[in-house]
């Protein structure tokens, strides 16, 4: 495999650099053209009567930066509805993912698909494959060409790029890329911590701004199992950002375990386990049992879970060598990408829990301050304020940047840690979501697309000011300020 990579080492000196730069730009342009060409300007072909009947059960609408998608029925029907109604967005996100893979690895997309076909695809359950196959059919009906293998790899993108690839590259004898990202801020509280004694859960997603957008609110009603209302990205079976509610009364979120190292190729992919747990589990213990079964270390997370019927909350830290589980009816759990369990921290990570320069540690400090100061008062409006918080616990002042709960790495020159890869990197908080017991029982939650604080991001201005990121031209998109919005299962507009 190392030998197969030698063709990328073309030329030396200025000429070689110029050739390499032209080659890089060509890949970006070709990849962009591929996904732009794949996006249909109008629905292609005529739909059969069966397809039309299938689509009448589904619907999409857009609101304040979000795409709301309702799908229902058998697995293949749900997939068809999803693929057809989100064809434009799926095609675009597949194109972006191809570009990101090539940039991260210097290898082409088919190389990754070949490995995913062997590593991931055989471990996807029959219902998941049927839903993906339906998605391929829906895309085709809308004029977009994809395949089962491509959508499986796309669903497994986080664990392939963040977890498997570092191990695979190390096995090739090459220096591994930086480890998994330390991103997302979340809390869950219950009992004496909250204003009404019920469960309150808040979460924001922190990720690279050029990554595929996770601006879909998916209301999915399967033939078997529980109805799910979750945030996701176009084309995913699971959430990816992992904020969900089910009609079993479960609510959940997660934050990645920072400094994590390890991946078990014989295990079950995380996206498969997450989807099965969320659809099939009737309580917290069942949900965690499914997640632990076949754990491969892919997308290693600290899961914050709540049962709004019992008032219980839990934290599952799903390492590879060690797993930690806690459950309570009074108190809180927080997530900021630093493991809380000592064995997970010491054996599964290389994280330094004392270095408050790190985003994960500074945010952990801030979470504890907010929980202590607001004990007995926590509700949805406070949760929205928490997720939009700009306090920097290293500088001990309000300072939006890498260490604030609402992260703005793009504003910060003082960045410590392996992720992101340098100052001013365009990454940070993409959203905010909050739910309490009353809302969860109604299958609803509040969400804000874009920075949880409401600050807009101008991609053109950013790239003009930071030329080191010019490889992102064409895939880095602006995000305007959007308001908090309540979404409900079954809504039509």
Sequential DSSP letters for 88-112: HHHHHHHHHHHHHHHHHHSS-HHHH
Q: What percent of the chain has pLDDT over 90?
A: 86
Per-residue confidence (pLDDT) for residue 183, from 0 to 100: 81
d(CA 409, CA 425): 6
CB atoms under 10 Å from CB of 202, counted, come to 29
Per-residue confidence (pLDDT) for residue 93, from 0 to 100: 98
- 175 band by pLDDT with thresholds 50, 70 and 90: confident
Q: How far apart are the first and last CA of the chain?
A: 51
Cβ partners under 8 Å of residue 70, min gap 6: 58, 59, 60, 219, 220, 221, 490, 491
Per-residue confidence (pLDDT) for residue 37, from 0 to 100: 40
Per-residue confidence (pLDDT) for residue 176, from 0 to 100: 79
Q: Does residue 124 register a pLDDT over 70?
A: yes
Q: Does residue 20 register a pLDDT over 60?
A: no
Per-residue confidence (pLDDT) for residue 241, from 0 to 100: 96
**What does pLDDT average to over the chain?**
91
Average pLDDT over residues 106-130: 98
Average pLDDT over residues 401-405: 97
Question: What structural domains does the chain harbor?
Answer: 13-171 (1.10.439), 185-488 (3.60.60.20)
Per-residue confidence (pLDDT) for residue 416, from 0 to 100: 84
Average pLDDT over residues 59-67: 98
Q: Does residue 439 register a pLDDT over 60?
A: yes
Per-residue confidence (pLDDT) for residue 25, from 0 to 100: 43
DSSP single-letter state for residue 39:
S
320-367 pLDDT, tens digit each: 999 999 999 999 999 999 999 999 999 999 999 999 999 999 999 999
Cβ partners under 8 Å of residue 126, min gap 6: none
155 touches 237 (CB < 8 A): yes
33 touches 92 (CB < 8 A): no
For residue 405, give the 3-state DSSP assignment.
coil
Per-residue confidence (pLDDT) for residue 493, from 0 to 100: 83
134-172 pLDDT, tens digit each: 999 999 999 999 999 999 999 999 999 999 999 999 999
- 178 band by pLDDT with thresholds 50, 70 and 90: confident
CA distance readout (Å), 223 to 78, 131, 226, 280, 492: 10, 12, 9, 11, 20
Q: What is the pTM of this model?
A: 0.91
288-308 pLDDT, tens digit each: 999 999 999 999 999 999 999
Q: Does residue 419 register a pLDDT over 90?
A: no
Per-residue confidence (pLDDT) for residue 420, from 0 to 100: 82
255-279 pLDDT, tens digit each: 999 999 899 999 999 999 999 999 9
Q: What percent of the chain has pLDDT over 70?
A: 90
Q: Does residue 18 register a pLDDT over 50?
A: no
Average pLDDT over residues 377-387: 98
225-243 pLDDT, tens digit each: 999 999 999 999 999 999 9
């Amino acid at each position: 495999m190392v030998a197969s990579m030698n063709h990328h080492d073309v030329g030396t000196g200025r000429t070689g650099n110029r050739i390499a730069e032209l080659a890089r730009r060509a890949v970006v342009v070709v990849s962009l053209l591929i996904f732009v060409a794949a996006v249909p300007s109008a629905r292609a072909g005529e739909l059969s009567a069966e397809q039309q009947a299938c689509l009448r059960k589904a619907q999409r609408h857009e609101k304040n930066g979000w795409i709301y998608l309702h799908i229902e029925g058998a697995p293949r029907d749900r997939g068809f509805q999803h693929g057809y109604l989100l064809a434009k967005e799926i095609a675009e996100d597949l194109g972006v993912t191809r570009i990101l893979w090539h940039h991260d690895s210097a290898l082409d997309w088919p190389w990754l698909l070949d490995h995913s076909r062997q590593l991931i695809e055989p471990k996807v359950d029959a219902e998941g494959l049927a839903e993906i196959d339906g998605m391929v059919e829906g895309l085709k009906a809308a004029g977009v060409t994809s395949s089962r293998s491509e959508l499986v790899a796309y669903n497994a993108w986080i664990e392939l790029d963040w977890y498997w690839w570092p191990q695979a590259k190390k096995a090739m004898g090459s220096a591994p890329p930086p480890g998994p990202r330390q991103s997302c801020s979340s809390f869950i509280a219950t009992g004496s911590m909250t204003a009404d004694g019920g469960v309150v859960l808040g979460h924001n997603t922190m990720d690279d701004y050029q990554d595929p957008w996770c601006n879909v609110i998916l209301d999915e009603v399967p033939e078997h199992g529980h109805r799910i209302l979750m945030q996701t990205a176009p084309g995913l079976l699971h959430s990816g950002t992992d904020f969900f509610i089910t009609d079993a009364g479960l609510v959940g979120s997660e934050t990645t375990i920072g400094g994590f190292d390890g991946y078990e190729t014989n295990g079950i992919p995380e996206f498969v386990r997450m989807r099965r747990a969320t659809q099939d589990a009737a309580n917290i213990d069942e949900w965690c049992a499914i997640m632990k079964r076949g754990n491969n270390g892919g997308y290693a997370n600290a899961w914050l879970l709540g049962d709004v019927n019992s008032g219980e909350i839990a934290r599952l830290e799903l390492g590879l060598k060690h797993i930690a589980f806690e459950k309570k009816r009074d108190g809180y759990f927080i997530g900021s990408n630093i493991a809380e369990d000592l064995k997970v921290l010491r054996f599964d990570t290389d994280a330094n829990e004392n270095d408050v320069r790190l985003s994960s540690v500074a945010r952990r400090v801030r979470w504890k301050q907010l929980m202590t100061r607001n004990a007995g008062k926590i509700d949805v409006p406070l949760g929205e304020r928490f997720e939009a918080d700009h306090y920097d616990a290293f500088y001990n002042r309000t300072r939006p940047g890498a260490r604030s709960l609402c992260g703005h790495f793009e504003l910060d020159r003082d960045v410590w840690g392996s992720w992101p890869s340098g100052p001013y990197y365009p990454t940070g908080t993409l959203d905010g979501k909050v739910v309490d017991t009353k809302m969860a029982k109604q299958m609803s939650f509040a969400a804000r697309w874009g920075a949880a604080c409401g600050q807009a991001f101008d991609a053109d201005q950013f790239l003009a000011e930071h030329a080191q990121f010019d490889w992102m031209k064409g895939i880095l998109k602006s995000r305007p300020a959007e308001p908090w919005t309540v979404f409900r299962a079954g809504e039509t507009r």
